[in-house]
Amino acid sequence: MDKLKVTIIGQDIAKIVSEVFVSIGLNSIKGVSKGSLGNLKTLTYEFDISEEEIIGKRKRLMIELA
C-alpha cells in the first residue's frame, strides 16, 4: 500500500475537495491533519491506495481540481 497525501489551503474549499474525492473514488480517508500556513488554515488528507492505482487516482484528482 502506498499513501497519497493531499493538502488544501483554506477551509472554504474543503467541501468542494471532499466532493471531488468521492467522485474519483477516494472514499477511505485514513486521517486528516489540521495546520496553518500564515493566517490560512490547512487540511491534509491521507489515503491508503494500492500501488497499481496511485498514479491513475492522482492524475484524475489533479484534473478534477484544475
What's residue 45's pLDDT? 93
What's residue 11's pLDDT? 84
**Taking the chain (66 residues) in consecutive chunks of 10 residues, what is each chunk's mean pLDDT?**
90 90 87 90 92 92 92
Predicted TM-score (pTM) of the model is 0.82
Longest CA–CA separation in the chain, Å: 38
What's residue 29's pLDDT? 81
Q: Which domains does the chain have, with CATH numbers?
A: 2-52 (3.30.1070)
Distance CA 11, CA 30 (A): 19
Which candidate, 21, 64, 29, places its Cα nearest to that of 46?
29
